[in-house]
Amino acid sequence: MIGLPDESSKKSKKYGAVSIAAIVVVIVFFSTNLFAWSKILLLGQDTDICPIVKIERPESFYKDNSTVTNILQGDEFRKVSAEKLSKAVQVDTQIYDDPPEVDSNPEYWAKFKKFHKYLEKTFPTVYEHLEVNTVNTYGLVFYWKGSNSKLKPLMLTAHQDVVPVQEETLGDWSHPPFEGYFDGKTMFGRGVSDCKNVLVSIMETLEILIKQDFKPERGIIAAFGMDEEVSGWHGASHIAGYLEERFGKDGIYAIIDEGAGLTKDPFTGNIIAMPGTGEKGYVDVEISLTTPGGHSSVPPDHTSIGILSELAYVIEQEQYEPVLTELNPTLHMLQCQAAHDHRKKIPGILRKSILRAGYDKVANSFVLKQLSKIPSLRYLMQTSQALDIISGGEKNNALPENAKLLVNHRVAIEKNVDSVKEAITKKVLAVAKKHDVGLNAFGKKLLEPTAKGNFDVHVSGKSTETAPVTPIGDELWGYVAGVTRHIFEDYVFTNLTDPVVVAPAIMTGNTDTRHYWNLTDHIYRYSPMFMLDFLKDTNVHSVDEHIEFDNHLRLLAFFYEFIQVVQQ
């Protein structure tokens, strides 16, 4: 009988264990996030997150859809349209960094005169019927006055310039970059997808509408800068001033500029369109450190290079925190993906957390943690910092008197340029104190220069604040999304089981629209073309830049219908 367990003591131990467990559960439930988690897991999702907007077709479509059908499917139309784009590519409009003022060096800019000639020759009806203005000589603004002066005009925009072709890559192109080669399906050439395609499709649209004797109630502006690829200070910046003077602050109805389009959502498999409704800010910060020179046989323990290297390390030690609030289009993009994930491709906890992330702290931090692991998503939620240039030192036996570090930042939607200045100042201040050198940060003297040296921190070049975010869910959003659905569901993907999801997104780069904020708060960086992978499917800025011509035609069809829909 040895070794038989004592039943009663076992039982009491068990009860003891159960009650301790219960207490632990209660403590855990209330002292941790378990309560929050049970809400995330058990509560249903809001049904009004990212509603699918209704399809918008202009009235003319119901009477006679042959124009749109012809744009998208007509063989002859395709041929003629291809020639127009190809010839636009043949006019070389490369722009290089730091262009001279237009007035001071007319020769430099003369290539744009050629481009204007090409436009005038190719689109005579547009030149004949619309008011044509040049701004700062080579910026182009076409204005089609509407019959109802109470309606603010719609503005479509693109740029005439293209990024340079690197001399040494010329041999790598399958077809010369300024030939505009077209094999019937794909067109090759510099600018063919960034963004002479947008410019030409706007001109083609205007031409078609004029020929159809369309009479806009709402005016239409087409504006084309000539230095977008070097930040637009000679083109778009002047165009902005011209339009603000003419139409007033907030005098434009909406702006559509080059931008993202449609893709197959890698998470859900849905077709998703992503008009850019926000843009991150931009600031380059240069930090220079001056220290006494001297012979390197009797060096101090830390030279300017050493101290600056320590600072570089300190800067990278601490990255900016990711943030994701209602203000950030990225949250709405994720919610559009999650809300329409009917095939349940996104893991359940993540999907449910995304849907609550706008107001639920626990859900929000879970989403941030999970999605920050994906680099392409992380920087939609976080200010980026990249140490891009470091320089210093002259001679192998002389102490470096000066060393410089340049840090490039793309500022998160919820933040501003000042927040970057503040963060970097704090880091420099710590290193400056440690090494007993002075600090002048953004024009403020924080530490007196010492015999050991002095830091100077300043903005290099021009910074750009985070763009105001375009509202979604309003009438205009309905037009943008509704026409997109019409073109892509009626013509392109006629077999979809789920509708096209239209979600707002942010651009991590800037376009000419940075100059246009005063004109309207409705800016869409949007080129509704379909691609699985934008960079791979266009090689934009690279060798063999190309476009599937079908996409050019879709863009054209979109503009053609959108102009009509916003009249209603």
Ligand X SMILES: *[C@@H]1O[C@H](CO)[C@@H](O)[C@H](O)[C@H]1NC(C)=O
**Residues lying near ligand X in the complex (CB under 6 A):** 65, 240-241, 490-491, 494-495, 515, 518
The smaller minimum CB distance to ligand X, of residues 407 and 507, is found at: 507
Q: For tokens 């220290």, name the residue.
A: 291
Cβ 435 to ligand X, closest distance in Å? Answer: 40
Select from Zn ion, ligand X, none the partner in contact with residue 309, using the beta carbon and a kind-dependent cut-off of 5 to 8 Å.
none
Give the amino acid at 17.
A
Closest listed residue to residue 545, CA positions, set 259, 193, 262: 193
Select from ligand X, Zn ion, none the partner in contact with residue 194, using the beta carbon and a kind-dependent cut-off of 5 to 8 Å.
Zn ion
Tell me if residue 474 falls in helix, strand or coil.
coil
326 is catalytic: no
Select from ligand X, Zn ion, none the partner in contact with residue 65, using the beta carbon and a kind-dependent cut-off of 5 to 8 Å.
ligand X
d(CA 371, CA 330): 11
Binding site for Zn ion (CB under 5 A): 194-195, 258
Gyration radius from the chain CA atoms:
29
Given 161, 258, 265, 545, the catalytic residue = 161
83 is catalytic: no
Select from ligand X, Zn ion, none the partner in contact with residue 195, using the beta carbon and a kind-dependent cut-off of 5 to 8 Å.
Zn ion
The smaller minimum CB distance to ligand X, of residues 65 and 539, is found at: 65
Select from ligand X, Zn ion, none the partner in contact with residue 515, using the beta carbon and a kind-dependent cut-off of 5 to 8 Å.
ligand X
Q: Is 257 annotated as a binding residue?
A: yes
Residue 187: half-sphere exposure toward Cβ, Cα within 13 Å? 30
The smaller minimum CB distance to Zn ion, of residues 341 and 545, is found at: 545
The full DSSP string for 61-93 is: HHH--HHHHHHHH-HHHHHHHHHHHHHHHHS--
- Residue 280 tokens read as 């991150």
Strand-pair partners of 221: 143, 155
The percent helix, strand, coil of the chain (3-state, each to 5) is 40, 20, 40
Tell me if residue 34 falls in helix, strand or coil.
helix
Cβ 491 to ligand X, closest distance in Å? Answer: 6
Given 228, 265, 456, 512, the catalytic residue = 228
Cβ 492 to ligand X, closest distance in Å? Answer: 10
Cβ 464 to ligand X, closest distance in Å? Answer: 10
Residues 485, 491, 497, 503, CA torsion sign: negative
Select from ligand X, Zn ion, none the partner in contact with residue 490, using the beta carbon and a kind-dependent cut-off of 5 to 8 Å.
ligand X
Closest listed residue to residue 197, CA positions, set 560, 510, 529: 529
d(CA 391, CA 405): 7
Q: How many helices, marked H, and strands, marked E, lie in the chain?
A: 18, 18
The smaller minimum CB distance to Zn ion, of residues 194 and 545, is found at: 194
DSSP secondary structure code for residue 103 in this structure: T
549 close to 185: Cβ distance less than 8 angstroms: yes
The smaller minimum CB distance to ligand X, of residues 300 and 468, is found at: 468
Select from ligand X, Zn ion, none the partner in contact with residue 518, using the beta carbon and a kind-dependent cut-off of 5 to 8 Å.
ligand X
Mapping DSSP onto H, E and C, the string for 1-22 reads: CCCCCCHHHHHHHHHHHHHHHH
The smaller minimum CB distance to ligand X, of residues 369 and 462, is found at: 462
The smaller minimum CB distance to ligand X, of residues 37 and 517, is found at: 517
Q: Return the biggest CA–CA distance within the chain.
A: 112
Cβ 331 to Zn ion, closest distance in Å? Answer: 26
Give the CA-trace dihedral at 431, 432, 433, 434, to 10 degrees: 50
Cβ 494 to ligand X, closest distance in Å? Answer: 5
Cβ 163 to Zn ion, closest distance in Å? Answer: 8
Q: Is 342 annotated as a binding residue?
A: no
Give the Å distances, CA to CA, from 148 to 133, 180, 220, 544, 561. 21, 40, 12, 45, 19
d(CA 228, CA 516): 13
Cβ 248 to ligand X, closest distance in Å? Answer: 11
Closest listed residue to residue 267, CA positions, set 372, 377, 384: 377
Residue 48: half-sphere exposure toward Cβ, Cα within 13 Å? 1
Element (H, E) at 181: none
Give the CA-trace dihedral at 201, 203, 208, 210, to 10 degrees: 160
The smaller minimum CB distance to Zn ion, of residues 204 and 258, is found at: 258
Which residues participate in catalysis according to the annotation? 161, 228
Annotated binding site: 159, 194, 229, 257, 541
Annotated binding site for Zn(2+): 159, 194, 229, 257, 541
